[in-house]
Amino acid sequence: MKVVASLTTIPSRIDDECKRSIDSLLSQVDHIYLNVSKTYRRFQSQSIVIPDYLTQQEPYKSCVTVTIGEDYGSPSKYLGALHLILSQDVYVFICDDDQEYHPELISKMKSRITSKQYIYQNRYDIFKQYGTSGGLIHGFVGLLMHSSMLDNVAVFPLPECARFIDDQWFSMYCKLYSYSIVSSGINDYSEIFQTLRHDAFELMGKDSLIDLGNRNEKIQELYAYFGGT
């Protein structure tokens, strides 16, 4: 069972936080796709500089593919390497660039797979019990799916508001295409992350989208775009 990881990053994270995230995944997956943009609308004064370690040092040189393309915002984690992923019979681990993942996370997730028709979400039972800000997809804790579950992403609408709320956007994708999101059975942060904050919660990277303070507004715009679904 081949697994690849797909994530995106921004100029302020690529040298340190993103590297730590990649390091935590190298021994767990078969390949990593790091999706970056030629230019960033959020960071117009900054351009992305691909660090030498990714192109000149092993194991990064062999195990990480950097795709440079359009600025989709946070949904780049799904869209950036889509053209490469869809041609493969693989499972895709979607994750964030400011987290260090537990060294046994992927193997535990793989052991829970029963069907290619499901999207396996970590911390699903917690989200289901306590509710979320829209949808059950949460990229920061990681989700795993077969590449065939991404067949329709390229033609799925990407309204402007979705650039800031990839979790809710992909949750809407799953809902409208009737893709089942199920629990991986992994709910504790200690099983998901290698490194936690001092208060036992997830790390928070530089220039986080949450700092913009517009999440609720963008969620409402997304729901309105899809007809209040």
What is the residue type of 184? S
CB 198: neighbour CB atoms within 10 A? 5
| List of domains in the chain | 3-225 (3.90.550)
Peptide bond into 59 cis (omega under 30): yes
Backbone angles phi, psi at 68, to 5 degrees: -120, 115
Task: Return the percent helix, strand and coil in the chain, to nearest 5.
Answer: 35, 15, 45
> Two tokens at 109?
């997730």
CA of 13: how far to CAs of 1, 104, 198, in Å? 30, 24, 21
- For every residue of 83-109, DSSP letters joined together read HHHTTS--EEEE--TT--B-TTHHHHH
Query: What is the C-alpha separation between 21 and 141, in angstroms, rounded?
Result: 12
Positive/negative CA dihedral, 92, 50, 167, 229: negative
* C-alpha torsion angle, residues 181, 184, 185, 190 (rounded to 10): -120
Query: What is the C-alpha separation between 60 and 53, in angstroms, rounded?
Result: 7
**For each of the chain's 229 residues, which pLDDT tens digit applies?**
999 999 999 999 999 999 999 999 999 999 999 999 988 988 887 778 999 999 999 999 999 999 999 999 999 999 999 999 999 999 999 999 999 999 999 999 999 999 999 999 999 999 999 988 889 999 999 999 999 999 999 999 999 999 999 999 999 999 999 999 999 999 999 999 999 998 889 999 999 998 899 999 999 999 999 997 5
Helix (H) or strand (E) holding 170: helix 166-176
On whether the pTM is more than 0.75, the answer is: yes
Pairing of strands 64-69, 3-8: unpaired
What is residue 229's predicted lDDT score, i.e. its pLDDT? Answer: 59
